A = this chain, B = another copy of it.
Amino acid sequence: MAATVLYMSMSLDGFIAGPNERPDNGLGDGGLRLHEWVLTEPRDPDSGVPGRPAGVNGEVYDEMMATGAVLAGRGTFEPAGGWGGDHHGGVPIFILSRSGPPAQAAAWPLVTFLDDLGTAVVRAKEAAGERDVLVHGAGIAQMALAAGLLDEIQIHLVPVLFGQGRRLFDHLDATQVELEPIRVVEAPGVTHLRYRVGR
C-alpha cells in the first residue's frame, strides 16, 4: 500500500523558503541554499530531472525519484513551472486547486487538478500502486497533517538559519502529533530525518 511521504528541505529554524516569495522568486530570497545538497553536485544534462547527487545524498534522492505519484498544491506547482508537466519519470501528478486547472495544463496529460484533499490522496495512492506518493509543499503538508492523511515525513535538514521566510510547520492546531523515527542519515551538507506520523 502506498504511503504519503512528505519530502522537504528545511533550515534548522524551520523554513522551506526565504522571504519575498513571488512567482519569479519561487524559493524566496536565498531559498536556493536549502537545495544545495542536490544542486551543487554534478548534474546529468540528459536526465530530464535535477541531477542525482553522489553518495548517501544520491540514495535519498533515489528514494524520492522512486515514488509513483506526486501530490502538491498549486502554490508549489506554479512557481515550479509545473515541472514542465513531468516531475519525474512520467508519474501522475495530482494538484490541489480550488480554482481549476490553469490554461497551460491542457498540454500536460500527467497532471490532474482536484479541489478536495481526501480525493487527491486516494487518487494519488491508487496511481502510485505499490510505490509511495511524494508529497511536496508547505501548504499541502499542513493540510494533510491536520486531516491525518500524511503517513511519513522526510526532512532534509540543512545547517543554516534563515531567520525569516516560509515555515514548513505553521498554522497547525495545538495538538501534539507523535512521530516515530525511522532513520537518521548524516550526509554532506544535510541531515536526512525520516519519521512515521502517529495517529
Q: Which residues of A contact B (CB under 8 A)?
A: 12-14, 18-19, 29-30, 33, 145, 153, 155, 157, 159-165, 167-169, 172-181, 184, 186, 191, 193, 195
Contact = CB atoms under 8 A, between A and B. Distances in A.
B165 A161 contact: no
B193 A176 contact: no
Given A174-B19, A186-B184, A195 B164 contact: no
A159 B180 contact: yes
A164 to B, nearest CB: 4
A184 B184 contact: yes
Contact of A195 (B159, B169, B173, B195): B159
B161 A179 contact: yes
Given A12-B179, A163-B174, 13 more contacts: A13-B14, A14-B167, A18-B176, A30-B176, A145-B161, A159-B178, A159-B179, A160-B176, A162-B174, A163-B172, A184-B184, A184-B186, A191-B193
B163 A179 contact: no
A61 to B, nearest CB: 19
A55 to B, nearest CB: 15
